[in-house]
Amino acid sequence: MSIACELSNPNLKKTKAAESSVGKWIIISKILLFRVFCGLLCLSALICLCFSFSSCICNNKQDEAAESSSSSKGMLFRNQNVSRSEIDAMLSLFFDSNQVTSFECRKESNDPGMLENYGITCSLSTRVEKEEEENEEEEAKKIKRHVAELMSSSSSSFEENEEGVHHELVVLFYVMNKWHWWWLVLSVLVGGHVIFEFHQRKIEVSSFLQDKQQCKRSGRWRKNMLRLGILAGVSLSVLWFWDTNEQLLFQRKETLTNMCEERARVLQDQFNVSMNHVHALSILVSTFHHGKTPSAIDQKTFSEYTERTNFERPLTSGVAYALKVTHSERERFEKEHGWSIKKMEIKDQTLVAGFDPAPVQDEYAPVIFAQETVSHIVSVDMMSGKEDRENILRARALGKGVLTSPFQLLKSNHLGVILTFAVYNTNLPHDATEEERLNATIGYLGASYDMPSLVEKLLQQLASKQTISVNVYDTTNASSVIKMYGSEVGDMSEEHISSLDFGDPFRKHEMHCRFTQKPPIPWLAIMPPGFALVITLLLGYIFNEAINRIASVEEDYQKMMELKARAEAADIAKSQFLATVSHEIRTPMVGVLGMLKLLMDTDLDAKQMDFAETAHGSGKDLISLINEVLDQAKIESGRLELEHVPFDLRFLLDNVSSLLSGKAAEKGIELAVYVSSNVPAVIIGDPSRFRQIITNLVGNSIKFTQEKGHIFISVHLTSEVREPFETEDEILKQRLGSDETSCNTLSGYPAVNATGSWRNFKTFQDHSCDKKTELLVTVEDTGVGIPFDAQSRIFTPFMQADSSTSRTYGGTGIGLSISKRLVELMQGEIGFVSRPGVGTTFSFTGVFGERERDSSALELLDQSIQEFQGLKALVIDSRNIRAEVTRYHLQRVGVSSVDIASSLATASGKLVNLDLVLIDKDAWNKEEYSDLLKEQPSTRPSPKIILLATFTTPSELSEIKSSGLVDEVVMKPLRMSVLICCLQETMGSGGGKKRQTNRKPKNLGKLLRGKKILVVDDTAVNRRVADAVLRKYGALVTCVDSGKAAVAMLKPPHDFDACFMDLQMPEMDGFEATRRVRDLEEEMNKKAECSRKWHTPILAMTADVIQATNEKCIKCGMDGFVSKPFEEEELYSSVARFFDK
């Protein structure tokens, strides 16, 4: 047996190894999950198994055979009359898998539902080898085979041994006890595996199908798993119940057996003891009656003696001694005793001593002595009773005590048996023959046993007599069993039978025991599995709900995804539509505008002019709106890209302010620009987009500011703002320091604290310092503010604060949305803070490149800047911030030393050694000023006085000028160019000579003079015109009429400086020609690396200036395009890129 165990162990190891190797090549997580699940099941099953195991062992009081095979074998051995070899063979079948086996597995009709899980009806003949055990399936098969073997072997023994059906079932039960857990685990494993395999195959097949279906399938898979789990749970609890119940029943049976056996043994012992005493009595009679002459015993002595020794025979109701009397001796005997031998009679089914003399017989057995209790049978011939006669005959033949079958005793009416001993005259040896015994017989001693009282008495002595009922039967004659004791009460279903040996081999007795009560309802067996079942069902319910929920959520998710995709598609379509439509509208609108412009140039009367101007203005508005929409659409469809060109931020802001100053002045709003000195002069970015944002924000501010206050544009580096306490920037300091209510603003009207608008910017939250220049631009106004409820949607396209806004102020509400997108494109953020009634401050950041100052662009200004260096200026302004702004502008034009005074009064002490005094109009007071001048010693030429005015009527202006108190009046917003002009005029340095009113510095003639240009056009007229135009600017023009000719001309080496190419030409169009030329150049460049790189600028000439065409031009290698017919400015700007170097 231990060998079998050892054989099974390596198998186990092997399977483990096999499993691990299996795990290597299946790495899908689902499988892992499945394994974990199975493992958990196995674990729980194992724990249960251990429990059942130990309890089983305890209950059966077995040896501590922990090993299942050994214990099962023990069971088999004990309970079944199976030979040892048979068991060994069976066990070897169990565990020996390394040998060739042939087996059959059947679905047994009487098996308790275990095999249903397999549903196997198979006949296998497999050669199983160690090496083949590679995967789970084979493992499963192997175990299945074990089970099958078990079944077949037990069923075969079943057939062999029909008598032992009961035992066989017990064996089966025991085996089941050991194995059904494994079966369960296996069924779960195999079932799960089958389902999983099935599922996986399905997945493989349909892996290319839609996600949706997969999703459903996984839902179904989960459902299947759940069903399996519930099934397993239910069967587990049923099995548990069944198992516990079986154990209880077995225990009960065991108890019954023990009690029954105990009773039987006690009864038997008592009987035997009493029989021995009767035997002793017979010897007494033989010794003292027959051995002595004259006899030492007479009736009186006998009865007395027996009465007194009755305690030794508690079970006998009475003893009597009969003498063997032959017929020949009868007369003598009767005479001797003085009575005749009487016959035994049966009356009313009771034995009664008759008084009739016994009939003539060979032999008589008249009772001569009898115990007091049975004294009535003295002189009765025992041979006359049938039972007694047989008994006597058998007793004397055997020399042992023999028993009669039970019959009604005389008098007592109880069932009883008569024990008879023969009394011999000689001491016979044990092996005496029957003949010898017969001859030696001289008498018979009989004792009657009252069975019911006997058994009653006995049971009184034993414990728990209430729980079982005992029946005693005489089964000598198998066909008619005589009941000696007991009643037919109690639970008839289970009964234990013990055989009784009363020392008479001829007689057979049995004791039947049964419980008086039906087995109680096995709560112990019902409760725990019941709980397990409830838990399983609850879990199942919960999981089912969860699965349903998951499924519904997944479905919802799918729907959402679908909707999302549709929404996105719709959004893209919308953007494309907008882009297309806007473009389509813009093209004819350009025509409308052009025509209107032409119309305005014609002779119109005032009314017509007004109409035309209105139409033109509206058209321009429409164009700008369309441009905005187009921008929005472009941004949304992701087609907008930013340029990266160097530009001067301060110039750009000057431009913006001058552009918007008109509008601002109309409304009486003060506009100011301030750029921190830390911001580099030239930055790299997209100036037009930057300008668009600023224009947009300032435009909005102007729109929403009513008749008072200011709009203040300021630019700082974000690094400055990040460390506000280290900054040296006065403006920033003051603004950061001010609170909401303070009027320390540009115009004196309160404005919201600008810090709020950038507080949430990410760039201020993470302190990673970039190499690039990050600017923070704020636009502060004192407008109506944005209502709080509208603040959240301010950046949403086409959303204005409320619908009335568009009615009051016009506009589409697209501007801010575009600005936001543009800012995002500049890797910045936009934010705002607003208080209705106080104002709004917008802030945005943007990342720009930095470049050293572009000298050429500022060449002109540098000259004038040098003029003003070393000048000393005083700014008199009641508003600190405004004074700072003025200082900034002065410093820009080179006035380095600028002092600030808040009013004319305080300025008096500072007027010494000044070249310039700039007085804001708010601080201007004629009288005070006059006083100031008077105080001033006129030793030196008095400083030049410049008045800074925001809005002045022309009459006011002329009045101030004519008063002669000031030298010049400068209209705000301050701009560099304006300031330079003004300073030049007032300082008189260079006078007006250096002023350049016409700022068209270079003309085409200079640019194109002497350049060799090739014109390609198939139309003679066009050629002629282009030729003439270019010739006019001094270019040397060559004309060709086809793309082919152009390619031939432009084949390097050549000496053309540029080429103007028509796009639409027969045979070879402009695109194709350009492509060829570029190819040729490429070739040439490769060949002659040392010499100059060939790249002739090719400009497209086209009548329709559409963005798409432009892109196509660039794509095929052109450098730009000019519209046909040539316009001087456009031509200049296009050509300048190539020749202005």
Partner 1 sequence: MELVQMQKSLQDYTKSLFLEGVLDSQFLQLQQLQDESNPDFVSQVVTLFFQDSDRILNDLSLSLDQQVVDFKKVDPHVHQLKGSSSSIGAQRVKNACVVFRTFCEQQNVEGCHRCLQQVKQEYYLVKNRLETLFKLEQQIVASGGVIPAMELGF
**Residue 598 contacts partner 1 per CB under 8 A:** yes
Spatial contact of 219 and 551, defined as CB atoms under 8 Å apart: yes
Size of the site for partner 1 (CB under 8 A): 23
Token pair listed for 77: 């051995």
Spatial contact of 616 and 594, defined as CB atoms under 8 Å apart: no
Stretch that binds partner 1, among 436-444, 710-718, 866-874, 1060-1068 (CB under 8 A): 1060-1068
**Residue 1106 contacts partner 1 per CB under 8 A:** no
Stretch that binds partner 1, among 146-154, 310-318, 387-395, 1120-1128 (CB under 8 A): 1120-1128
**Residue 476 contacts partner 1 per CB under 8 A:** no
The secondary structure of 282-307, three-state, reads HHHHHHHHHCCCCCCCCHHHHHHHHH
**Residue 602 contacts partner 1 per CB under 8 A:** yes
Measured CA to CA, the distance from residue 1028 to residue 1026 in angstroms comes to 5
Report how far apart, in Å, the C-alpha atoms of 488 and of each of 249, 454, 513, 514 are: 22, 19, 11, 10
Smallest separation, CB 1021 to partner 1 (Å): 4
Smallest separation, CB 735 to partner 1 (Å): 50
Spatial contact of 653 and 637, defined as CB atoms under 8 Å apart: no
User: In one letter, which amino acid is 777?
Assistant: V
DSSP 878: S
Smallest separation, CB 1022 to partner 1 (Å): 5
Q: Which of 40, 1103, 1106, 1114 binds partner 1 (CB under 8 A)?
A: 1103
Measured CA to CA, the distance from residue 809 to residue 813 in angstroms comes to 10
Q: Which of 12, 463, 1066, 1092 binds partner 1 (CB under 8 A)?
A: 1066
Smallest separation, CB 746 to partner 1 (Å): 43
User: In one letter, which amino acid is 115?
Assistant: L
Smallest separation, CB 1123 to partner 1 (Å): 10
Q: Which of 327, 566, 926, 1032 binds partner 1 (CB under 8 A)?
A: 1032
Smallest separation, CB 718 to partner 1 (Å): 49
Smallest separation, CB 1019 to partner 1 (Å): 4
- Is the Cβ of residue 130 or residue 1032 nearer to partner 1 in the bound state? 1032
Smallest separation, CB 1116 to partner 1 (Å): 19
Q: Which of 1062, 1078, 1118, 1121 binds partner 1 (CB under 8 A)?
A: 1062
Token pair listed for 542: 């919960």
Measured CA to CA, the distance from residue 479 to residue 1126 in angstroms comes to 139
Stretch that binds partner 1, among 319-327, 356-364, 651-659, 1059-1067 (CB under 8 A): 1059-1067
Q: Which of 1029, 1047, 1100, 1122 binds partner 1 (CB under 8 A)?
A: 1029
**What stretch of H or E contains 522?**
none
Q: Which of 71, 661, 753, 1022 binds partner 1 (CB under 8 A)?
A: 1022
Token pair listed for 974: 């301050």
Measured CA to CA, the distance from residue 391 to residue 694 in angstroms comes to 139
**Residue 1028 contacts partner 1 per CB under 8 A:** yes
Q: Determine the longest span between alpha carbons in the chain, in angstroms.
A: 202
Stretch that binds partner 1, among 139-147, 214-222, 754-762, 1018-1026 (CB under 8 A): 1018-1026
Neighbours of 1111 (CB within 10 A): 10
- Is the Cβ of residue 640 or residue 1029 nearer to partner 1 in the bound state? 1029
- Long-range own/partner contacts, residues 402-408 (CB < 8 A, 24 or more apart): 402/504, 402/506, 402/507, 403/502, 403/504, 403/506, 403/507, 405/474, 405/476, 405/477, 405/482, 405/507, 406/451, 406/474, 406/482, 406/484, 407/351, 408/349, 408/350, 408/351
Nearest to 774 by CA among 842, 823, 732: 823
Measured CA to CA, the distance from residue 422 to residue 438 in angstroms comes to 9
- Is the Cβ of residue 143 or residue 1122 nearer to partner 1 in the bound state? 1122
Stretch that binds partner 1, among 749-757, 825-833, 894-902, 1014-1022 (CB under 8 A): 1014-1022
Token pair listed for 162: 């029909």
Distance between first and last Cα of the chain: 105
Smallest separation, CB 1108 to partner 1 (Å): 15
Report how far apart, in Å, the C-alpha atoms of 289 and of each of 243, 480, 910 are: 68, 41, 174
**Residue 1001 contacts partner 1 per CB under 8 A:** no
Sorted by sequence, the CB contacts under 8 Å of residue 695 that are 6+ apart come out as 656, 659, 660
**Residue 676 contacts partner 1 per CB under 8 A:** no
- Is the Cβ of residue 892 or residue 1124 nearer to partner 1 in the bound state? 1124
- Is the Cβ of residue 793 or residue 1024 nearer to partner 1 in the bound state? 1024
Smallest separation, CB 1042 to partner 1 (Å): 12
**Residue 145 contacts partner 1 per CB under 8 A:** no
DSSP lists the bridge partners of residue 1036 as: 1012
**Residue 593 contacts partner 1 per CB under 8 A:** no
Q: Which of 952, 1038, 1064, 1085 binds partner 1 (CB under 8 A)?
A: 1064
**Residue 1124 contacts partner 1 per CB under 8 A:** yes
**What stretch of H or E contains 74?**
helix 68-79
Sorted by sequence, the CB contacts under 8 Å of residue 61 that are 6+ apart come out as none
Spatial contact of 317 and 449, defined as CB atoms under 8 Å apart: yes
**What stretch of H or E contains 769?**
none
Stretch that binds partner 1, among 245-253, 611-619, 741-749, 1121-1129 (CB under 8 A): 1121-1129
**Residue 518 contacts partner 1 per CB under 8 A:** no
Q: Which of 397, 965, 1025, 1084 binds partner 1 (CB under 8 A)?
A: 1025
What is the full DSSP assignment across 22-43? Answer: HHHH---HHHHHHHHHHHHHHH
Stretch that binds partner 1, among 311-319, 408-416, 527-535, 1026-1034 (CB under 8 A): 1026-1034
Spatial contact of 912 and 887, defined as CB atoms under 8 Å apart: no
**Residue 1009 contacts partner 1 per CB under 8 A:** no
- Is the Cβ of residue 352 or residue 1025 nearer to partner 1 in the bound state? 1025
Spatial contact of 626 and 578, defined as CB atoms under 8 Å apart: no
What backbone phi and psi angles, to 5 degrees, belong to 459?
-65, -30
Stretch that binds partner 1, among 146-154, 604-612, 838-846, 1017-1025 (CB under 8 A): 1017-1025
Token pair listed for 971: 């209209």
**Residue 1020 contacts partner 1 per CB under 8 A:** yes
- Is the Cβ of residue 810 or residue 1125 nearer to partner 1 in the bound state? 1125
Smallest separation, CB 587 to partner 1 (Å): 11
Smallest separation, CB 1024 to partner 1 (Å): 5
Q: Which of 166, 292, 518, 1024 binds partner 1 (CB under 8 A)?
A: 1024
Spatial contact of 1013 and 1030, defined as CB atoms under 8 Å apart: yes
**Residue 1019 contacts partner 1 per CB under 8 A:** yes
Smallest separation, CB 1017 to partner 1 (Å): 7
- Is the Cβ of residue 740 or residue 1067 nearer to partner 1 in the bound state? 1067
* E strands in 891-1008: 897-901, 916-920, 944-949, 968-971
- Is the Cβ of residue 147 or residue 1026 nearer to partner 1 in the bound state? 1026
- Is the Cβ of residue 909 or residue 1066 nearer to partner 1 in the bound state? 1066
Stretch that binds partner 1, among 135-143, 230-238, 401-409, 1123-1131 (CB under 8 A): 1123-1131
Contacts with partner 1, residue ranges (CB under 8 A): 598, 601-602, 1017-1022, 1024-1026, 1028-1029, 1031-1032, 1062, 1064, 1066, 1103, 1124-1126
